[in-house]
């Protein structure tokens, strides 16, 4: 169970990193987006992977 949670957390972190890199390339302020919607994104991603 712990291993499964760790794998899910790593997958979420990779997904967020890819999303921030993509927004960075588009010229968005990643810092602002991460602070404003970071927690919401994490929750949505975890819920979507259930």
Burial of 46 (0-12, 13-18, 19+ CB in 10 A): middle
pLDDT given at position 32 = 64
pLDDT given at position 6 = 81
pLDDT given at position 19 = 81
Query: Roughly how many angstroms between the first and final C-alpha of the chain, as a whole number?
Result: 14
pTM: 0.43
pLDDT values of the chain reduced to their tens digit, one per residue, 50 residues: 677 888 888 888 888 888 877 877 777 665 666 666 666 777 677 677 65
Phi, psi values for residue 37, rounded to 5°: -120, 10
């Amino acid at each position: 169970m712990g291993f499964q949670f760790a794998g899910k957390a790593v997958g979420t972190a990779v997904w967020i990193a890819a999303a921030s890199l993509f927004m960075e390339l588009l010229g968005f302020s990643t810092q602002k987006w991460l602070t404003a919607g970071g927690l919401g994104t994490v929750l949505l991603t975890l819920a979507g992977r259930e």
